[in-house]
Every structure is written in structure tokens, then in C-alpha cells.
Structure 1
Amino acid sequence: MGYRNLSECVYDLEKTGQLIRIDTELDANLEIAAVQRRVYQSGGPALLFTRVKGCSFPMLGNLFGTLERTRFLFRDTLPAVLHLLSLKTDPMRLMKSPAAWPGTLRGTLNLLPRKVSRGPALDCQTRIENLPQLVSWPKDGGPFITLPQVYSESVSRPGWRHSNLGMYRVQLAGNQYRPNEEVGLHYQIHRGIGCHHTEALEQGKPFRVNIFIGGPPALTMAAVMPLPEGMPELCFAGLLGGRRVPLICQPGQLPVPAEVDFCISGTVIPNKTLPEGPFGDHLGYYSLQHDFPVLAVDRVTHRRGAIWPFTSVGRPPQEDSTFGAFIHELTGPLIPELVPGVKAVHAVDAAGVHPLLLAIGSERYAPFAEQQAPQELLTQASALLGTGQLSLAKYLFIVAGQDNPQLDIHDVPAFFSHLLERVDWQRDLHFHTRTTIDTLDYSGSGFQQGSKLVIAATGPVQRQLPCELPGDLFLPAGFRKPRIVLPGVLVIEAPAHHAPRGEADTAAQSFCNAIDPEQSINGFPLIVLTDDSDWTARNLNNFLWATFTRSDPAVDSYGIGAHTVSKHWGCSGSLVIDARRKGHHAPALEDDPVIEKKVDALGAPGGPLHGVI
């Protein structure tokens, strides 16, 4: 049976040696987040900060810090959840042999929430200023809730059956928000709450929102799950948590899970937005100030002994990377059913998740053809870019599984080699220009505006990928320090970028124009221009992060021997991606040296984190 509330979870983790208490007084302004990030990087335990400066509530960090601990939290229910998700593709399996699925049958009993008239979540009232004021990075615009569960309902079909529970960050103070009366509600495109908000505005009805913090871990995980349409997150929380979610239902109020630790209730102010941010986000940069909806706060309640769970995001991997890994374990087997012919997908965490999506598909349209070319792969790519959160992918690399049945999609170097051995740059580049991109991605032509690139490759090996620099390598003036980061992938240091946003850069263009497609450098099918080739090539994570977070496909893709035929762009030589920093990019996150020294002291002999960090 799963945890009834967060306190039970903390007790269990401490009892099993997976949580430590930190009784040293620490500040929620920068210090606590820095500690959590450091402990995550060391693979350490969950952390209960019992003395938060100026705040009476303890804070819980690194709860989902390892995949092993996340599995442990849901150990009693995982088999039933996996079985039930598999039945989405073939429900008759359960009907044909119900005796073989007893855990699944019991699990379905927990899908429906149960209504209650009261619960501990409403026992006490407080104010926004009394909540933990977590600031994760030095340039953040104020304190944020980083593990919120934002609950909304359809105004035309009220009730939990047509609800959305999503993790949309919340700014508690700062900027132009009225203290204790307003909070900022940041939600990105392609999110369920947007449909509810649009509906309320169209009908001129108040848009009520509840923000839950804490409660059983299943509620937090449900808020980030990409669930099948029609399954409310509250149902999944009951399934994953091993018990029906008790909902406090009061007249005129949105329901509140009885066991959450905090609840902020309010109404989104119609047609009002205020600047939200900056905020150090999971791409490793600051998302800058932009106007987002404002929640007028009616009340703030909490349970007795409430605990404030939090995380701190930044350049991956971070704790939220575990969410992605756990979600993949649950939903990965469903991909072939959601998109026929697709065998596997991998949103690359080191590249910021949405900037780079790898996929293994199938090429079955013309098995009789002497020469295979991407056909079905393009159909599958279009389907992937129209499926839930996968639609946020900026670069989609897709290959045919039959070309190498043993290819592991999580082996990124092997995947790159497989694709680059087969790709034809004159045929296999497919751009989506002037489209939407992730709200947090500043590489595009404007806010939430940019492009996408599908690279689809199939067929026999066309080239051997070089692992050494050729002796006659030629570089134009101003370009230097060529470094091989992967077989067939060359990183080159280039002059600083100066082009206006959304326009081609003359230096990158001159690089391509100065090289003939027959020159030896074209043995490297992929060339990346960067500000610091030594740093970019130092390890795979640096290469992935810099290349795919710092480029907009339609603007920053160049080619040696480039040409356009019937509006299809390609090149006879190497593909060149400009991954230099641009003037419109958001600042990268950097640790505060003073704060880091304080964290070092906690790990010194006699400190609470000695032996942990």
C-alpha cells in the first residue's frame, strides 16, 4: 500500500537510510537549492531541512533524486501500473484471463477519487509571505514554487472528471505582484491548463485554480505524467499511490486532496498579465521576464506539521531528469501503439530534453525497391511532432530499425554514428519553418517562435566516419581549433556571432563558401561551429547541450555545397550547425561562488553532509 501523505514517506525514507535531516540553519534564498543540486550530483539521499531561516516550515529536497529511490516510493504499485498501461493497447487481455492480473484488478479500484467533507489540508491558514521563499539561482526574479500541482477544471463541465493537474511553476513574490494577494502562474504552450483558461475566457466565467504542494508522492508524479487523453491525473495518482485520492469537496470551491501539505486557492484575473521571471530553468539558462497570467489569492491553507517539497532545476542532468527516466519506464512501451511503426523514442536529457528527440522507426512502404529512401519515416516523424509533449521537439533524428535491429536508442554516440553513416544531406533534411517551439527555448526567431528540423535516414552505409583529422585539413581564416567529438562530428572554434536575430550569419556563410565539397573536411558529415571548441568537445554532454540549445534549425543550419531544388534545401558537402552564443540568447546559469563555499563547509568533516558530497 502506498503512502497516505508526505510525512509517512519521509518517515519511511529515514527509517531505510534514504533520507538525512539537516538541522543547520540554512536560507531558502540560494543556499538550500545549492545544497540540493550538489547532493543530487553526488547521487545522495533525500534531504529534510529542519531549520529554514525565517520560516517555520521544513523543506524536503531531492526526494526523486535517484531513479532507484523513485522506484522505491512506488514499489507496491509499479507492477499493476505497468500492466494497466499495457492494457491500453489490448484491454481484452484482462477480460480473457483476469486471474493472471490480480494486482491490476485491485489497482483499478483506486482509480476513482473519493469525496470527503473535511481533511488535514484545510486545518490551518497562513499567508504567502510565511511560505518557504525558495530562490534557486542568483538572477531569479523572486521566490518560486518548483514542485507545484496546479489544478483546474473545465468551466462548462466542472468536476474532477474534466480536470487537469499539471506542474506549472508559480512565482510567489517579486516583480509587480501585490504581496500576499497575487502570484504568477507560468504555463508553457501545449499544456492542459491552457484549454481550460481559454474556455473560461470565451464564456466569461471565473477561472478558478488551486495550487497544491506536497501530499503523497504519487500526486507530484501524476502532475508531470503525459497521460492518455481522458484520464484525469487524480485517477493516475490513485493508481500509482495505491489508494483512492480523498478529495475535500465544499460548495463553491474546487476540490482539494485531503492529504496535501499546502493549498493556495484563487481566481485567475481576466485579461491581466504581469512580468514573470527570470527563472533558472531546466535548459540550463534563465527564462527571461515575460507576461503571464496572475492568480488572485483567496486563501492559503496547510496541514499541521506541513512539509514543503521542492526541487532546483538547471543544466541537465538534475533531479527533474529522474522524472523523465521514470516516465519513460512507464510509457515507453506504449510508443509503438501511439505511433504505428515507431519502435522507440528518446528525448535527450543532456540536450535539454525538448531540443533533441531521437527515434527509431520503420521503413516498410516499398520493400521491393532496390534503393531505400525515407518514406514511412517521414510519416512517423510527422506523427511524433503531433503527439503531446513530443511536439515540442526542435531537432528530430529518426532512423529505420531494420537497418540495425540491435541499435540502442539510449546509446547516443552509436545512434549518431548510425545516422551519419547513412544520411544524404541532399535528400534527408526536412525543415518546419516559422512554427512554435518550447517556451523556455531562446534560440528561435522570437518568443515561442522558431523552427524544427527532421533528419530521416535509412538504407545501407554510405560512408566511413573519420576518427582522425586529415593531414590536408583546410580552415578559412578566423576558424581554428578543430576537435573531433564523435566519429564523423567535427567541432570548430569560430569568430563571435554578430548577425541580427533570425538572420543568417556572414561568418558562418563565408566558412561554407570558402570550402569546396571535394575537400577532405567533408569526410566529417556534421560540423558544429562553437565559441570554444575545447570545452564543447570535452565530453558528450557539453556537445549535446551547446549544439542543440544554441541553434535554431532554419537559421543556424548551413551547408558546404548548399543548394535549393523545388524549395528543398540540401548540401553536397558537410552540414554545418552554428552553435555559437547569440545576442538574443538567455544567460547561462552560473553558481554563486560564495554560496558554493558554504555548501563545501557542510561537506567538511563534522558537517551534516560529510561523506555525502
Structure 2
Amino acid sequence: MRDYIEKLLQRGEMNIVEKEVDPRFELAAVIGRSQLDNENPLLFKNVKGTRLPVISNLYGSHSRLCEIIGTHKGNFCKHWQSILDDRLPGPDEYSEVIVPDGGYMEGKISDLPHITWCERDAGPYITAGVFLAKDPDTAVPNLSFCRTMMVDDGELRVRLAPPHDITQYQKRAEARGEPLDVAILIGPPPEVFLAACASVPIDQDEMAIASQIRGAPIRMRQCRAIDMQVPADTEIVIEGRILPNQRKPEGPFGEFQGYYVKQTDNHVFEVLNVTWRENPYFHGLLCGYTEDLRSIEISFATRTFRHISAGLPGILDVSCYPIPT
């Protein structure tokens, strides 16, 4: 992600906020207002209560998504499908470059920006974290998004949506009385973020998809507290596990549909370790706005393209982008 941020800065395609911004409501308000004017990402250099800068709307432009996967407007879905149709690399291929575990600093959840996005949210949330987990039976890696309420240095609370593969992983682990090891990636390489948006079968290795998008191996490093490798260039990694047979109140939260989901008992994530690169960026997205909707569009548009093209050759592309209000 950092390399892409630097590229956008060099091209002058970044809105930079130098003034101190309050992470409680103000930061989200600035993001929402900015996206009414243009699709540029926002870089908040001075966020109250943390030394970490916040980046938002990085993936909120269709043209940038096309650039990342190596295509042009009007060809996104077809190119995306060609990536999935090609032979995907195995773990020994996409993670052949292993980076020694050095140069990463340890911190705490309380060091991170605590962003409260909407007025009635239960508290601060991590909204752009990519959950990396492995199938407890086959060890196939999966990438997904789960809203994450920040509680304290030792605990997060997460919503595992029923359709997600990670939800099935957790159910199987819980049936054995076992926790599910998870690494939450905040600011992974763009290819990893986009691979998490892919709609593919549960047995498909989504880290392999990330490598296929890049056209090269993904540099990996070993976690310190769990038996898992993570993309080495990820800005921040939260290592932990989803505990079996434990549920605690999570929410309310302003979701992408434009309304609040009520408080319900959801899964407990035990934080075991937090590491980051030197001078890390914290990625956060405003649910229901451009970056969130563009990410959702990848799944819906590419799946629609795949189904329609199977019976109606000649389809060029599909767009199903809802307009944020």
C-alpha cells in the first residue's frame, strides 16, 4: 500500500489534511464531504490521540482499481475473470520470498487511531482490516472483511457475516472447542486488499489470487504469536484468535446500507500481538461511501459478469455501483 500511496503523492493525486482532526466524527465528516467533490484519497497527517497518519479512499476510484489490476476502464470484469481463469500459483510460488522478521515494531491497540465514524456507533471501529485466516481442515488461506469494534488492548469484537468463508472456518474450529487464529491486516499490498473482495469458492486460495493480480510473488513474513505468514509489506498486523463459545455485545454501527445495525452478541477476538512497519499508515474507510462501495462492486460486478457471460458471449463489462447518499 505504501508504494501506491507514494506514487499517488508524486502524481499529485492525493488530498492532504495537515490540520489536526478529531477521530470522533470529524475525520469521517471530512472524508464524506471530500468524496462529494472528487475521488482523490485523503491523507490525514495529524489525527488527535495518535501519531499514526490515516489514509482513506485509496480504493475509491474505478480508474485506480483498473490501474492496480493492470487494465483500463471498460475492461475490468473481463480482465479480473482472466486472472481467476489462469492457473493460480501454489503457496511455494506466491510466497517464495520470505522476509526475516526484523524491522517491525511492536505496539498496542491503544496506539492506533480510534475512529468513531457515526454518531450512534458503539465506539471506534477498524473498517478496512483484511482478515487472513486458514481453513482449519485444509489450511487454505482466506481473505475477508469483518467490522471490528475496538474494546481495549486485549480484545476486539467482530461481526462474522454468515456468507463469509471465515464464518465457516470459525464454526468448524468452535465445534472442536478450538480458537481460530487470525491476522488482521491494516494496509496490506493493494493486490491483497482487492483479492479480499473476490467472490470465489471456499477452497480457492485468495493469497494466490493476490499474487496473480500482482504478477509476482507476495513477500511474506512469519507472525510472532500465531502460526501464520502475512504479507511483509503490510503497514499494521494484529495477531490474535477468535475465541470459541464466547459472544459479547457489539454495535450499534452505521453500516454501508445507510442505516444502523443494532447491538447484538458477536464474536470475541483475543489480541495476542500488534506489529507495524516503521512510520506506518493506518487505513480506514467510511462505510457506505465511495471506497466501501467500490470494494463491494468488485464482488457483485465480477460475479454478474461471470454468470451472464457464460450464456451470452460478447459482454464487455459490468458496473453495479450504487451512488452514495
TM-score (norm 1): 0.48
Residues 221 and 237 in structure 1, CA contact (< 8 A), matched pair in contact too: yes
Correspondence 1:15 to 2:5: no
Deviation of residue 194 (structure 1)?
A: 1.1
Residues 41 and 318 in structure 1, CA contact (< 8 A), matched pair in contact too: no
Task: State how far apart, in whole Å, the 2-side matches of 1:193 and 1:17 are.
Answer: 38
**Structure 1 segments of 4 or more deviating over 6 A?**
76-81, 107-111, 341-346
Correspondence 1:163 to 2:158: no
> Which residue identity does 1:170 align to in structure 2?
T
**Residue of structure 1 in register with 2:81 after alignment:** 85
Task: State how far apart, in whole Å, the 2-side matches of 1:77 and 1:113 are.
Answer: 28
> Which residue identity does 2:110 align to in structure 1?
E
Deviation of residue 117 (structure 1)?
A: 4.8
CA distance 1:345–1:69, change in 2 (3 Å)? closer
Deviation of residue 203 (structure 1)?
A: 2.2
The structure 2 residue matched to 1:112, chosen from 94, 105, 125, is: 94
**Residue of structure 2 in register with 1:144 after alignment:** 125
**Residue of structure 2 in register with 1:426 after alignment:** none
> Which residue identity does 1:167 align to in structure 2?
F
Deviation of residue 273 (structure 1)?
A: 0.5
Deviation of residue 196 (structure 1)?
A: 0.6
Deviation of residue 327 (structure 1)?
A: 4.5
Q: Tell me whether 326-335 or 239-248 shows the greater mean CA deviation.
A: 326-335
Correspondence list, 1:81-480, <5 A? 82-83=78-79, 85-86=81-82, 112-114=94-96, 116-119=98-101, 123-158=104-139, 162-173=140-151, 179-249=152-222, 253-314=227-288, 318-327=290-299, 330-336=302-308, 349=322
- What SS class does the counterpart of residue 116 from structure 1 fall into? coil
Task: State how far apart, in whole Å, the 1-side matches of 2:171 and 2:235 are.
Answer: 29
Residues 98 and 220 in structure 2, CA contact (< 8 A), matched pair in contact too: yes
Residues 293 and 321 in structure 2, CA contact (< 8 A), matched pair in contact too: no
Taking only aligned residues, the RMSD between alpha carbons, in angstroms, comes to: 3.1
1:552-598 CA-partner distances (Å, limit 9, x unpaired): xxxxxxxxxxxxxxxxxxxxxxxxxxxxxxxxxxxxxxxxxxxxxxx
Task: State how far apart, in whole Å, the 2-side matches of 1:62 and 1:203 are.
Answer: 40
Residues 301 and 318 in structure 2, CA contact (< 8 A), matched pair in contact too: no
> Which residue identity does 2:81 align to in structure 1?
L
Deviation of residue 138 (structure 1)?
A: 0.9
How many residue pairs get aligned? The number is 320
Deviation of residue 333 (structure 1)?
A: 3.1
TM-score (norm 2): 0.87
- What SS class does the counterpart of residue 55 from structure 1 fall into? coil
**Structure of higher RCO (CA pairs closer than 8 Å, 6+ residues apart):** 2
Deviation of residue 254 (structure 1)?
A: 1.7
CA distance 1:84–1:35, change in 2 (3 Å)? closer
Task: State how far apart, in whole Å, the 2-side matches of 1:333 and 1:58 are.
Answer: 37
Task: State how far apart, in whole Å, the 1-side matches of 2:246 and 2:41 are.
Answer: 39
Residues 43 and 66 in structure 1, CA contact (< 8 A), matched pair in contact too: no
CA distance 1:153–1:237, change in 2 (3 Å)? same
**Residue of structure 2 in register with 1:101 after alignment:** none
Deviation of residue 115 (structure 1)?
A: 5.2
- What SS class does the counterpart of residue 239 from structure 1 fall into? helix
CA distance 1:47–1:336, change in 2 (3 Å)? same
Give unmatched runs, 5+ long, in structure 2: none
Task: State how far apart, in whole Å, the 2-side matches of 1:127 and 1:135 are.
Answer: 18
1:95-123 CA-partner distances (Å, limit 9, x unpaired): xxxxxxxxx79x96997233515256x71
Residues 294 and 321 in structure 2, CA contact (< 8 A), matched pair in contact too: no
CA distance 1:30–1:333, change in 2 (3 Å)? same
Q: Tell me whether 196-205 or 304-313 shows the greater mean CA deviation.
A: 196-205
Task: State how far apart, in whole Å, the 2-side matches of 1:333 and 1:138 are.
Answer: 37
Residues 77 and 305 in structure 2, CA contact (< 8 A), matched pair in contact too: no
> Which residue identity does 1:155 align to in structure 2?
P
Residues 269 and 293 in structure 1, CA contact (< 8 A), matched pair in contact too: yes
Task: State how far apart, in whole Å, the 2-side matches of 1:199 and 1:262 are.
Answer: 28
Residues 43 and 65 in structure 1, CA contact (< 8 A), matched pair in contact too: no
Deviation of residue 16 (structure 1)?
A: 1.1
Task: State how far apart, in whole Å, the 2-side matches of 1:235 and 1:87 are.
Answer: 10
1:464-503 CA-partner distances (Å, limit 9, x unpaired): xxxxxxxxxxxxxxxxxxxxxxxxxxxxxxxxxxxxxxxx
Residues 69 and 80 in structure 2, CA contact (< 8 A), matched pair in contact too: no
